[in-house]
Structure 1
Amino acid sequence: MTQRSRRFLGQLAVSLVFLLLLLGHVGGLYNFYFVEKLDASLYDLKLRLFREQGVDDRVVIVDIDEKSLREIGRWPWPRKVTAQLTENLFEQYGVAAVGFDIVFAEPDQSSGLPVLKDLARGPLAGEAGFARLLDRVAPGLDYDARLANALGKGPTVLGYYFGFGPAAGRVGALPPPLSPCNQLAAQGVRPLVASGHGANLPGLQVKASDAGFFNVQPDFDGVIRRQPLLIEYQGQCYGALALSLVRAGLGLGAPQVLAAGEARALSTSPASLALDGIQAPLDENAMVLVPYRTERAYRYIPATDVIHGRAPAAELEGRLVLIGATAPGIMDLRVTPTAKAFPGVEIHANVVSGLLDGSIKWEPAQARRWNLIAVAVFGLVLALWLPFATPVWAAAVAAGLLALTIGLDFYAWSVQHLSLAPASLLLALAGLFILNMSYGFFVEARAKHLITRLFGQYVPPELVEEMAKDPARYSLRGQSREMTVLFSDIRDFTSISEGLEAAELADMLNVYLSAMTRVVQEHRGTIDKYIGDAIMAFWGAPLSNERHARDGVLTALAMQRELAALNPQLEARGWPPVKIGVGVNTGRMSVGNMGSEFRMAYTVMADAVNLASRLEGLTKQYGVGVLCGEATRAACPDIAFRLIDRVRVKGKAQPVAIYQALGLKAELDAAVLRLAERFESALADYQARRWDAAESTLRALNTETPEPLYGVYLERIEHFRREPPPADWDGVFTYTTK
């Protein structure tokens, strides 16, 4: 068998496995979350692109908002307030109908009437005067009765909810059902079956024109894209709040559920709900897709303005009104395709608009069958053709088919009001193209070759081998990471270079840089660049490294030790010995391939990088070999540090503490740690202006173990005695040069 045949069979096998997996999802054998999520995302995109614009003047939302809560008080309000709101809507503003996205399941207690009645039956049972007074004031304190009377002043629709599952209770009185549900199964519709309800007080329900449930149905990802129009309870069908409000406001009769074909000539939806000329396509669970409109599609009028008669009458007269809440504390905010915090009452408003406009999209009953055929046919053709196609032709055909699929889907949505699910077909087209083009390139030896080519010049060979095992995790693209960076530099390099011939200088640098680079790579570091005699390295990229700070500090200490072993070799060849300073700092950095169109380099950039460079320069000022930043010290609990100073480096307004790395605590002599503690005590005295105490400790230390660091502070103390620092001096030393 030729190599080409083997490659064709391999590509065909991979393509067929991919297709079979996808067809199993389309056929309903199992569900791939990412395919469902893609379909949902495409649905949301179409909805946002093609949704109805402008304000729907027919529907107004009377809003229990923060302003209303401030003026009237916390929710729930006394029923007399809700009664006043309802009375004003009908008597003062002349609205067409009022729907409540609220349930009144319990008797009102705010008037105190139940307490007075308990007193009349109990402690004051024999007080005739109290009984007569109670009879006189009771009608005015019966807020439920007042609300019931208000509900009778016009077409009103109360809200309630259905419960599902064995724990669902049965509270309140339901409205009369729309119709029995036993005929819907024959029409392809099976509404959700409720087991309980939370409805309104019987005295309120009997006075209202109707009631509608306000249940919504989140999709698998928690987003509300659909709402039931009918729910079955004890064999009877009940209508949604939006449906009942339209019926009440327009004075329509009971709706009918029409089977597919009865509703429209070419309809392939399971069924449609018909309401005196209004049709709404239902899915198999008697739900409709919510036709969300653009932002600010409805006028919101604060409930307090209606109660106090401040609302503009022209915006309410003759309108369908929904009373609901947007105040955050009432928790009626939902996740929808158009917003992460969407008022629940506006969902019902959108359904009302969709019913009035006939703009509700519908899902064809045969959509799954169409999808299955399209994926199978197009997928098989591509699987057989792509192995022989050139990359250019393959890309052109795949792009054309993808564009055609998306175009037809957008056409079906915007013109035919069809909601299709094209994700499976799109994934089949794109997936087959990607699999065939990448076969033998990413899956085989090219992955290791690519990683080696990209990172071989930066990281040790053993790390390249490790990266090649999972090349997809590594990229030269810019990323933001918590990392550690190191700068090292030869002290007095100018003097050294002036004393050597150019060839000798190059040879010496090669020996020095090779030795230091080995130390960096032994500690899993990435060499960034050589800047003359300076070395820049970092930890934490391209490989993640939770111990990047520790590795960076140990590298700096190892470089000092390596230098002590290297200097005798340099001197043996007639070259001067070398001293270096090393700065190490940790922080969030941008790492990736950076540069210009002419030259790129894998490097790091950030303020934390600049600080590391400044720390390297400060090692000469204090006469120490390694200086580290605060974040580095905090990330290395097993390494001993000595606080050297608090400084403001050039280019930074905020002071930083700088530390000298001493070594692993477990390996250090106790005397070294005691000397560090004594110096930090002297530093504390210095920063507190206790010059005598600081000087005494520093001179004692300088006598025992002389260090340039002690001389630095003795000179500062002498200076401050002559010229005391200002009263607001914070002990920070400011450097004005790099």
Structure 2
Amino acid sequence: MATKYSPGEVVRRLFAKHGARWLLALVLTLLAGGQVMGMLPAFLTERIDLFFYDMRMRIAKVETDPRIVIVDIDEKSIAEVGRWPWSRDVVAALISKMTDSYEAQTVAFDVLFAEPDNSSGYATLESLAHSELKGLPQFGQQLQTLKPKLDFDARMAAAIQGRPVVMGYNLSNEPDAIAKGQLPKPVFTLASLGGRRLDATNWKAYGANLPQLQEAAEAGGFFNPLLDNDGLIRRVPLIAQVGDNFYESLALASARSALGATRMKPIFLQQDAVMSDQQLRDYGALESIALDTKPRPTFIPVERHLTTLVTYRGRGGVHGGAFRYVPAVDILKGRVPKNDLAGRVLLVGTTVPGLYDLRATPVSPNYPGVEIHANIIASILDGDFKQRPEFAVGFDLVQILVIGLALGLLLPLLGPLWSIVLAAGAAFGIGAFNFWLYDSAGLVLPMATALLLIAALFICNLGWGYLFEYRNRRAIVNLFGEYVAPELVAEMAANPASYNMEGESRELTVMFSDVRGFTTLSEGLQPNELREYINAYLTAMSEDIRGNRGTLDKYIGDAVMAFWGAPIALPDHAARAVATALKMQQSCLVLNEEFAKRNWPPLKIGIGLNTGNMRVGDMGSKIRKAYTVMGDAVNLSSRLESITKVYGVGVLVGQATRDAAPEFAYRELDSVRVKGKNEPVPIFEPLGLASELTAAQRASLDKWTAALALVRRQQWDQAEQEILALQQENPHGLYDLYLQRIAYFREHPLPADWDGVTTFETK
């Protein structure tokens, strides 16, 4: 008979079994929510959302838009008319054909006319009339008669005058850019906005058309797009700022002309209920632009920086786009039926190689720039815009919470097959719903974070068992890493047959480090403070040792024991040990800065290093063993550490270590006979890499070497003189020690057989 549990017991059992995964799901959901709210970086999700946005346009059905035609200055036109740029009388004839003969609704130029046209020779003749031929009035009179025929710029301006022609120009923020040509009338000014600013792109220079051409035109617009981080064009500013004035884009100016609108009005976000007048002026965010069209205004929504998303139709070009291309020469020669162009918006651009205005877009890496304007014009004429709504963040947050809570609760209760079905179904539902909103309402809503959350929840649940086992294995490795550095453990694990814990004799370098004045230090700290103090010290020293491939042997109270060269052989074990000792001294200085902030006493350590043959392996009793080193060379290292305070130095090394690490510079301090050894041992203080010593340091070292030689020859006066000079240059406890010794030796003469060795009777 099955056991029946109360609802509370069921919940308790479920939580005991799945609580960790539910908690993980909650954490993942909160992280996703934080990312949506802007608390975490969003680079990856932004790229994924852009991918889906691009994909939706690439799979959209392409239909030719008959209202907009590209007048193409193509190779055929160049072959029949001549190389580009054409003389302005030809362009004037083209304008007359488009506006008068074909009765175009609007003509817009995605071409710039910034330089005067002197191809007729009129400028040269006019110069002669004012110089060499100034005395011939008949020449000047005849030139004035010919001016209407020879001044091609004037002929083009006359062709533009009174006709629905929109001139295009370029804005620039290049460091060396200058203002050239004449801008059209601004659509807004700072004064007309009543102190409210607009969140528009700001430009400092421009390359515009000749004044007489722009003045004759109905309007003008810039043709600058904006590049996303991946170099693609998805947004185009509809309005940009130059100085105190705001100007419309070529697409907006062309659409406004085609719709018969003469004015536009900025529609600000309705924030008056919660914002002061000053905040409104500072906020300056537009909701849309209103054109004064009949019978009702046309509203054009805008996004940040007064941009609009480009709805690309097709892959672009003569054969892959949604717009018809007509060679310019066919219009000039009247080869195109009038009904094909009458009442259309004509955009004049070029597809000639070398002049082809190609741009990288989501639908094609080589998309005609003139078609970008055509797509925006089509969106304005249709009132069909793709936009990121203001509620996008709230929408994303809601869908993340629903997905996170639902999948987080259900996935741990399901088997692998149903987990796959549930996760795949959730992902499909998110994608389908977002695509439907895009097609039906023109809303571009985020879904990358939701899809990533679904993937994360699914992977975490499916891989829970593996991750749990991996965590257990990792814990074992970390435990063993308390004795041997984890990176060395990993290296050993790659070739376990080459390593064992059996004892062997090997040349190693061993280190002992101890805190100076630990008893006094401990008396001045509370127990908890002392624990934190020692933990900080041992952690920093251990990191330095293991960071340079050292094996951390043990802690002996406040002392640290380590060695180099086992279990993994290191040919440069001595050099690594010396470098580590110097690094530990630097780490003490860093720790002291933190200790000073807490009014703790400064940390001072002494380090002894020695190199030699020693026994290394798994040693101890049946109850407890440890991987450690033993031998006479080990004992000497301990003795060297204990006498560092006598010489006022932080690091002492033996002769063998000095010989094994010759790349460092050393100061010989003495020749000593430590307790337990009969043979004297030279001791040295490492100063740093020999190649990094300054000239002053080398000079000071040479002086000390000479002074030490004088002491050993018992030339007390000269030695004292040299050491006093060194003391004045750079005070050091070592110099005090030897000055005291000299004074003592003067009063207590040395025996004739003195060998210059200092004997230490204590450990």
Give the structure-2-normalised TM-score. 0.53
Q: Distance in 1 between matches of 2:71 and 2:449?
A: 43
2:61 counterpart of 1:28: no
- Tell me the residue number matched to 2:352: 327
Q: Distance in 1 between matches of 2:371 and 2:349?
A: 8
Write the letter of the residue equivalent to 1:37: R
Q: Pairwise mapping of residues 283-294 of structure 1 onto structure 2 (< 5 A)?
A: 283-294=303-314
- Cα RMSD between the aligned structures? 3.5
Q: Distance in 2 between matches of 1:120 and 1:269?
A: 55
- Tell me the residue number matched to 2:57: 47
Structure 1 residue runs without a partner (length 5+): 263-267, 449-464, 470-738
CA contact (8 A) 1:292 1:347 kept: yes
Write the letter of the residue equivalent to 2:302: L
How far does the alpha carbon of each residue in 1:98-151 deviate from its partner, in whole angstroms, 9 at most, with x for none?
111112122113222223333444444445565455444333221110100010
- Tell me the residue number matched to 1:238: 247
* Aligned mate of 2:380, from 310, 334, 355: 355
* Aligned mate of 1:196, from 191, 198, 205: 205
* Aligned mate of 2:414, from 389, 396, 405: 389
* Aligned mate of 2:343, from 312, 318, 323: 318
Q: Distance in 1 between matches of 2:298 and 2:443?
A: 18
Q: Distance in 2 between matches of 1:61 and 1:261?
A: 39
2:84 counterpart of 1:75: yes
- Tell me the residue number matched to 1:37: 47
Q: Distance in 2 between matches of 1:182 and 1:431?
A: 53
Q: Pairwise mapping of residues 444-455 of structure 1 onto structure 2 (< 5 A)?
A: none
2:95 counterpart of 1:86: yes
CA contact (8 A) 1:187 1:259 kept: no
CA contact (8 A) 1:172 1:201 kept: yes
- Tell me the residue number matched to 1:172: 181
Q: Pairwise mapping of residues 711-722 of structure 1 onto structure 2 (< 5 A)?
A: none
* Aligned mate of 1:226, from 220, 235, 259: 235
How far does the alpha carbon of each residue in 1:203-257 deviate from its partner, in whole angstroms, 9 at most, with x for none?
1111111111212122221222221111123333221212211222332221223
CA contact (8 A) 1:157 1:209 kept: yes
- Tell me the residue number matched to 1:113: 122
* Aligned mate of 1:429, from 454, 459, 462: 454
Q: Pairwise mapping of residues 6-17 of structure 1 onto structure 2 (< 5 A)?
A: none
Aligned residues: 445
Aligned CA distance change for structure 1 residues 185 and 195 (closer, same or farther; 3 Å): farther
Greater C-alpha radius of gyration:
2
- Tell me the residue number matched to 1:58: 67
CA contact (8 A) 1:113 1:138 kept: yes
Q: Pairwise mapping of residues 314-713 of structure 1 onto structure 2 (< 5 A)?
A: 314-383=339-408, 385-441=410-466
CA drift at 1:167: 4.4
CA contact (8 A) 2:198 2:286 kept: no
CA contact (8 A) 1:257 1:274 kept: no
CA drift at 1:274: 4.3
How many percent identity over aligned positions? 38
* Aligned mate of 2:161, from 152, 168, 187: 152
Q: Distance in 1 between matches of 2:370 and 2:235?
A: 14
Moved more, 436-445 or 330-339: 436-445
CA drift at 1:386: 3.2
Q: In structure 2, the residue corresponding to 1:317 is in which secondary structure?
A: coil
Moved more, 207-216 or 182-191: 182-191
Write the letter of the residue equivalent to 1:27: M
CA contact (8 A) 1:180 1:237 kept: yes
Q: Distance in 2 between matches of 1:150 and 1:355?
A: 27
Q: Distance in 1 between matches of 2:150 and 2:17?
A: 87
CA contact (8 A) 1:50 1:414 kept: no
Aligned CA distance change for structure 1 residues 148 and 346 (closer, same or farther; 3 Å): same
CA contact (8 A) 1:148 1:207 kept: yes
Q: Pairwise mapping of residues 264-283 of structure 1 onto structure 2 (< 5 A)?
A: 270-276=287-293, 277-283=297-303
Q: Distance in 2 between matches of 1:185 and 1:393?
A: 62
Q: Distance in 2 between matches of 1:208 and 1:305?
A: 24
Moved more, 345-354 or 253-262: 253-262
Q: In structure 1, the residue corresponding to 2:437 is in which secondary structure?
A: helix
Q: Distance in 1 between matches of 2:261 and 2:31?
A: 49
Aligned CA distance change for structure 1 residues 201 and 18 (closer, same or farther; 3 Å): same
CA drift at 1:63: 0.7
Give the structure-1-normalised TM-score. 0.55
Write the letter of the residue equivalent to 1:358: G
Q: Distance in 2 between matches of 1:192 and 1:346?
A: 22
2:108 counterpart of 1:99: yes
